[in-house]
């Protein structure tokens, strides 16, 4: 057993339960945190870990939870409300920090007002999106340039903090960064010739999208994280589509855009609507989530990589665990980083397929149509 204690906040949640189990299997001593005392204690007993009930909105309890740990893994949310709160508590306790979400808003705040000393390390976006998604192109090709198209989506139940984050992402007026110059993203935008291009992509509906079954709707969305990907790989073009296999969730999210006023009651009602819509869409289907990457580079055949999982939460957790393993091996330098900027793509992809049997990665040349190989 490794005596360095790793704290997992949100340990009994959708991603947290996977993170806790896999870190325990890797031999780490764990401190499990969450608000629900009984499920927390039951999990701690199974994993031979310490249980410490904690409400992340209570300063003293949060600081006590982080105290004495070598690292804190945050699986709690909603991330658009938590922002840099847990990161700063970890820094004050001299514990490194890994966040399955975090994303641009948390990074923006940590850069605007730094936390921790010069030895402190924080890794944000250490989940499926944008963490893993932004790592895949680096595994596909060592060359820069070309046109990349990404299709990301599926059909599965969305609940809890994940549902709340979906709502908050559509209602920037509820976020603590309202009034700042932070840019989240834009519908219909793409990346063209080294810069953001507005209104270059439109919503599509099709029955023939490769690797997606049945009728799907494609909603183009260029995020700040996608722009970072385009800049790193010097892409001439990047088109990113969110894929909806059902109709109810898409229509519910569209109806909620700009309609949540930031109160707890308003958010709770919107979250419940998202949860119900996702359950309606899922009825009669086997849940899945996948990301399809098509990359056309000059002088080469078009390459395609498909990452498919039976649980996006498990895939997020596997990416986070891979990040922790890299951190504990001393492979990440101090500072505040996005996961895709400091992790090795091949290592992460190998880790996630080893950790989660329900995730499969295939690569092939679609224009040549050979038999697809699974790694």
SS3 of 318-334: the string is: HHHHHHHHHHHCCCCCC
Q: Radius of gyration of the chain from Cα atoms?
A: 20
pLDDT band at 183 (very low <50, low <70, confident <90, very high): confident
Question: Quick one: what percent of the chain has pLDDT higher than 90?
Answer: 80
Q: Is residue 374 predicted with pLDDT exceeding 50? A: no
Q: What per-residue confidence (pLDDT) applies to 371?
A: 45
The residues near 108 (Cβ < 8 Å, ≥ 6 apart) are 177, 180, 182
pLDDT band at 373 (very low <50, low <70, confident <90, very high): very low
Lowest-confidence region among 101-115, 165-179, 218-232, 295-309: 165-179
**Cα 269 → chain centroid:** 24
Integer Cα distance of 138 and 131 in angstroms:
12
Mean pLDDT, range 135-142, rounded to an integer: 96
Q: Which of 290, 351, 360 is nearest to 319 (CA)?
A: 351
pTM, entire model: 0.94
The residue with tokens 């080294």 is 194
Under DSSP, the state recorded for 155 is E
DSSP assignment of 95-115 equals -EEEESS-HHHHHHHHHHS--
Question: Quick one: what percent of the chain has pLDDT higher than 70?
Answer: 94
What residue ranges in 91-215 does DSSP mark as E strands?
Answer: 96-99, 121-124, 147-155, 185-187, 190-192, 195-197, 204-206
Q: What per-residue confidence (pLDDT) applies to 372?
A: 47
Integer Cα distance of 235 and 240 in angstroms:
13
Q: What per-residue confidence (pLDDT) applies to 181?
A: 57
Per-residue pLDDT reduced to its tens digit, 44-84: 999 999 999 999 999 999 999 999 999 999 999 998 899 99
Lowest-confidence region among 27-41, 131-145, 169-183: 169-183
Angle at 180 between CA 179 and CA 184, to 5 degrees: 105
Q: Which domains does the chain have, with CATH numbers?
A: 2-127+314-353 (3.40.50.720), 129-311+358-374 (3.30.360.10)
Q: What per-residue confidence (pLDDT) applies to 179?
A: 46
Q: What per-residue confidence (pLDDT) applies to 105?
A: 84
Three-state SS at 184: coil
309 and 288 Cβ atoms separated by less than 8 Å: yes
Per-residue pLDDT reduced to its tens digit, 239-265: 999 999 989 999 999 899 888 877 889
In angstroms, the Cα distances linking 109 to 15, 91, 128, 299, 340 are: 24, 14, 22, 42, 19
pLDDT band at 326 (very low <50, low <70, confident <90, very high): very high
The residues near 40 (Cβ < 8 Å, ≥ 6 apart) are 11, 12, 32, 33, 34, 51, 52, 53
């Amino acid at each position: 057993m490794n005596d360095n204690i790793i704290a997992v906040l949100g340990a009994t949640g959708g991603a947290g339960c996977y993170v806790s189990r896999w870190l325990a299997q890797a031999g780490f001593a764990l401190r499990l945190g969450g608000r629900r005392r009984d499920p927390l204690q039951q999990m701690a007993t199974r994993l031979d870990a310490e249980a410490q009930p904690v409400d992340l909105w209570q300063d003293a309890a949060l600081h006590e939870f982080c105290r004495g740990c070598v690292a804190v893994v945050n699986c709690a949310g909603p991330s658009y409300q938590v922002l840099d709160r847990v990161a700063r508590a970890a820094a004050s306790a001299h514990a490194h920090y890994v966040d399955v979400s975090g994303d641009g808003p948390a990074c923006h705040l940590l850069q605007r007002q730094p936390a921790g000393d010069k030895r402190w390390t924080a890794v944000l976006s250490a989940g499926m999106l944008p963490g893993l998604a932004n790592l895949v192109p680096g595994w596909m090709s060592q060359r820069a340039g070309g046109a990349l198209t990404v299709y990301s989506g599926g059909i599965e139940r969305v609940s809890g903090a994940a549902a709340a984050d979906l709502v908050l992402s559509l209602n920037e007026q509820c976020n603590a960064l309202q009034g700042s110059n932070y840019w989240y993203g834009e519908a219909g935008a793409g990346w063209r010739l080294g810069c953001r291009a507005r209104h270059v992509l439109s919503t599509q509906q099709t029955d023939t999208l490769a690797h997606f079954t049945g009728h799907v709707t494609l909603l183009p969305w260029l995020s700040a994280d996608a722009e970072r990907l385009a800049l790193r790989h010097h892409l001439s073009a990047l088109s990113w589509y969110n894929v909806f296999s059902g109709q109810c969730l898409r229509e519910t999210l569209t109806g909620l855009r700009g309609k949540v006023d930031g109160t707890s009651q308003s958010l709770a009602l919107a979250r419940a609507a998202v949860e119900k819509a996702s359950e309606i869409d899922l009825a009669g289907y086997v849940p899945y989530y996948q990301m399809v990457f098509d990359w056309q580079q000059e002088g080469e055949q078009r390459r395609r990589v498909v990452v498919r999982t039976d649980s996006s939460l498990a895939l997020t957790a596997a990416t986070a665990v891979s990040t922790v393993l890299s951190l504990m091996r001393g492979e990440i330098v101090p500072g505040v980083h996005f996961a895709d900027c400091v992790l090795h793509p091949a290592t992460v992809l190998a880790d996630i397929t080893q950790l989660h049997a329900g995730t499969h990665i295939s690569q092939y040349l679609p224009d040549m149509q050979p038999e697809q190989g699974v790694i």
